[in-house]
Copies of this chain bind each other. A is one copy, B any other.
């Protein structure tokens, strides 16, 4: 049961020869949620062997080019590959016209359905739910309207204790109810409490994507105890003023936020092209939060299932 983030692009606005614009794949049990889609995302997806047809949902945090210029190319390739199932794109409302004007020349018979869902920048809200995850958007503060996203696994059914099922001679038909948390009543009217029949399922896992934002300490509540946080860290301490001016976050600030929120894993990215090497950013982040890691493109950051925790 995979729950992992692969970073496809770790650069900020200006890509370098080795760092690509923002793009991230959240793999939840082999369904891919694509988060931001900078130029070259389709090539990065191919390079790291993510199959396009496993992407049904794309989340675009804001309309700076380094977060969406790869979308039209990806959609075009999906069309060329003969996709016919629908795709949902959560994005600022203006994206639809920018993309569709570039796809106008493609005959309707070749097009698949693309559903554009506009983001709300006024308050957090649940924007998507499927059998794997619930996705919540939350506004952050950048130079243009921007949202982050939290992905939470759906709660699992309870795990049955097989020996107990045998001992109480529980019929197959009763098991779905027991997995859902019900007690079992024997033919003699005896009540077997659910906790004698089941154990807690693994905790639902969670991932949060901060998007481009100025440092917002108050986000700690929203991000409380997520398993994995990807936060931008465009600058180091040396460019704190520039971070404030351009509404970005430093590595140290992002790490402080992660610590305050009690997140379990932190991955930092969206690095300025000014930094040829990133050791200083890593060091500054680790001073605040020892578990901080710098994103390496193509690397997959997994969240393990915590089984039978109770």
Chain A 32-52 interface 0/1 with B at a Cβ cutoff of 8 Å (1 = within) = 000000011011001100000
Q: Which of A22-30, A68-76, A193-201 sits within the interface?
A: A68-76
Identify which of B47, B69, B102 contacts A98 (C-beta below 8 A): B102
With A39-B39, A39-B43, A105-B63 as contacts: A14 and B69 at CB distance below 8 Å: no
With A39-B70, A40-B39 as contacts: A102 and B17 at CB distance below 8 Å: no
Copies of chain A in the complex = 2
Complex-state Cα separation, A101 to B105, whole angstroms: 17
Total count of chain A residues near the partner, CB < 8 A? 30
**A73 with B69: CB separation less than 8 A:** yes
CB contacts (< 8 Å) of A80 on chain B: these are: 13-14
* Listed A/B pairs (27) with beta-carbon separation below 8 Å: A13-B76, A13-B77, A14-B77, A14-B80, A14-B81, A15-B46, A15-B77, A16-B46, A17-B46, A17-B47, A20-B43, A21-B73, A39-B39, A39-B42, A39-B43, A39-B70, A40-B43, A65-B76, A65-B102, A69-B72, A69-B73, A69-B76, A69-B102, A97-B101, A98-B101, A98-B102, A105-B144
